[in-house]
Amino acid sequence: MLLLSILLLPLLGAVILTALPNSKRQGAGRFAIAWAVIPLAFVVMMRGTRPTPEGGILASWSLDWIPSANISLSFSVDGISWVFLLLTSLVTLFALAISSRFGLNSRGYCALILVMQSMLFGVFTAGHFIPFFLCWEMTLIPSYLLIRLWGGDGAPRAAMRFFIVTLFGGVCMLLGFLALQVSVGTMDFAMLHELAANKELASGVGEALKSTGYGGHYLLTIIAICVFFGLAVKIPVFPFHAWLPDAYAEAPTPVTLLLTGLLSKMGVYGLLRIFMMIFPEVLPGFAPWLTALAVITVVLGAVAALAQTDMKRILAYSSINHLGYCVLAVAAVAASQADRTAVSSSISGVILQAFNHGIIASALFFSVGIFEQRSGGLRSIDDFGGLRAKMPVFCGLMGLALFASLGLPGLSGFVGEFLIFNGVFGLVPWAAAVSLIGLLLTAVFLLRLLRKVFHGPLPSALESWTDLTTRERLLFVPVIALIVGLGVWPQAILHCINDDILRMLNHLLPSS
């Protein structure tokens, strides 16, 4: 019941918001913030109230929807899902909180964010493809509207591209799963995992689709590629990334934060839960190509960021680069499942990196928002300079987030990247070695940003700027606390997911 209320509460909040009288405009933002605290509290409670039950499922809820086709609306939460739920509730709350700082507090805006939160909860807990896909596609509508209606000048075009490309990816994924439904009669993740673990999936597909004249292995590979495409567009992986810089740059800053902090994580989550777990039979065949794509994503994201001057675009390419590490780790696991330690290191790293990227990106985009707000919409690094003299606290906080982003030990970015590189090096050494270029260049463009904006002489136009207000500092506090806290004590996240990772390991490498 707890799970169901978590799933539906944000939707209910959205309904209440739309029913509010128009005169209460100011109240909408505050109401949404207050409302978003409740799912966060519930998510924390879900873990806090009792010891983890046997099997690792913290909560589940299920409804047989179309029994004849084996379709049920089933949702369940294990440790990994829980970490993503926590991230979703934290980042949504943060986005709502900073939205009202930036004057984005109309009823429609807040309601759409709450709808998106509900759908994200659904994606991260779905146990069957149909509810997963419904929620996955339903996140598109609020995010499209949020970009379109509250974005910059180029927003309509960017929103449209974002919508079309990701929709296209979703359709591919749907086709892949329909093929599975037709051939093996189920789209339930647990059942498909079971089939895959027993190495029956390829043969099952081949058997059922014999009329096509192709073998099961070949067909399953095509299905896997379809699913990968759907997920890759969302993360995004080269060459499906072209929608991202425009969408991130044109969206209002709190929405950009949601796009990179949460929507991209849907893809990462899908890679872990669906792609890696359902297709292990066929992955080694084409995963080297995926590894190459991931390496290109990592390096290309970093190099392209070097050429940008718009802070949002720099951070957008930086996000491509950072999530590239997650894809790299999954691709490496897919390519070679030889080493149990390396696989567990990769998977742990992916989850840690996904969580920490969400938090760090929140801090960074909030900082960009502060620049936009104070300068009336300027975001180019050439528009600023020497601000450390006027805003030492802001410089310190944003600097901390930047250093976390480039993987400084002691801050949260490091352990995830260490685990990913550790795992990838054990599985596909050359990929780890080449990706180091990305890690190096990250430092180059992030420090360049820091230098251009905060260091050097202060332009006279910025003389009147003052440091962060108390309220802005308070907004930074929880994010910075998480960045430092998880950097020193990564076990806080890792212990939540370790049992699930061991289960995944037994599933992927049953012999050992």
The dihedrals phi and psi of 62, each to the nearest 5 degrees, come to -150, 145
Least distance in angstroms from the C-beta of 160 to another protein: 6
Query: What is the dihedral sign for C-alpha 9, 66, 273, 51?
Result: positive
Least distance in angstroms from the C-beta of 301 to another protein: 10
Where do contacts with another protein occur on this chain (CB under 8 A)? 160-161, 164-165, 168, 239, 241-243, 245-246, 300, 303-304, 306-308, 340-345, 347-349, 386, 388-389, 392, 396, 403, 408-410, 414-415, 418-419, 421-422, 425-426, 432-433, 436, 439-440, 443-444, 447-448, 451, 454-458, 489-491, 494-495, 498, 501-502, 505
For the chain, helix (H) and strand (E) counts, in that order, are 22, 2
- Angle between helix 392-405 and 340-375 (nearest 10): 150
Least distance in angstroms from the C-beta of 331 to another protein: 18
Least distance in angstroms from the C-beta of 57 to another protein: 20
Residue 120 or 326 with smaller CB distance to another protein: 326
Residue 13 or 169 with smaller CB distance to another protein: 169
End-to-end Cα distance, the chain: 37
Strand partners, 380: 310
In 10 A of CB 509, how many CB atoms? 15
What is the C-alpha to C-alpha distance for residues 3 and 123, in angstroms, rounded to an integer? 13
Residue 46 or 342 with smaller CB distance to another protein: 342
Least distance in angstroms from the C-beta of 147 to another protein: 15
DSSP-derived secondary structure letter, 479:
H
Residue 113 or 400 with smaller CB distance to another protein: 400
Least distance in angstroms from the C-beta of 345 to another protein: 6
Tokens of 411: 């801050």
What is the C-alpha to C-alpha distance for residues 1 and 10, in angstroms, rounded to an integer? 15
Least distance in angstroms from the C-beta of 134 to another protein: 22
Residue 66 or 481 with smaller CB distance to another protein: 481
Least distance in angstroms from the C-beta of 381 to another protein: 13
Residue 22 or 464 with smaller CB distance to another protein: 464
- Closest C-alpha to 391, from 318, 324, 464, 448: 464
C-alpha 449, offset from chain centre: 24
DSSP string, 353-387: HHHHHHHHHHHHHHHHHHHHHHHTS--BGGG---G
Least distance in angstroms from the C-beta of 437 to another protein: 8
In 10 A of CB 490, how many CB atoms? 20
- Closest C-alpha to 81, from 251, 244, 234, 273: 273
Least distance in angstroms from the C-beta of 494 to another protein: 5
Residue 230 or 490 with smaller CB distance to another protein: 490
- Closest C-alpha to 228, from 271, 257, 265, 196: 271
User: What value, to the nearest 5°, has the Cα angle with vertex 330 and ends 299 and 172?
Assistant: 95
Q: What share of the chain is helix, strand, coil (3-state, %, to 5)?
A: 80, 5, 20
Residue 264 or 345 with smaller CB distance to another protein: 345
Residue 230 or 349 with smaller CB distance to another protein: 349
User: Residue 492: is it exposed, middle or buried by C-beta count within 10 angstroms (0-12/13-18/19+)?
Assistant: exposed
Residue 82 or 121 with smaller CB distance to another protein: 82
What is the C-alpha to C-alpha distance for residues 204 and 223, in angstroms, rounded to an integer? 13
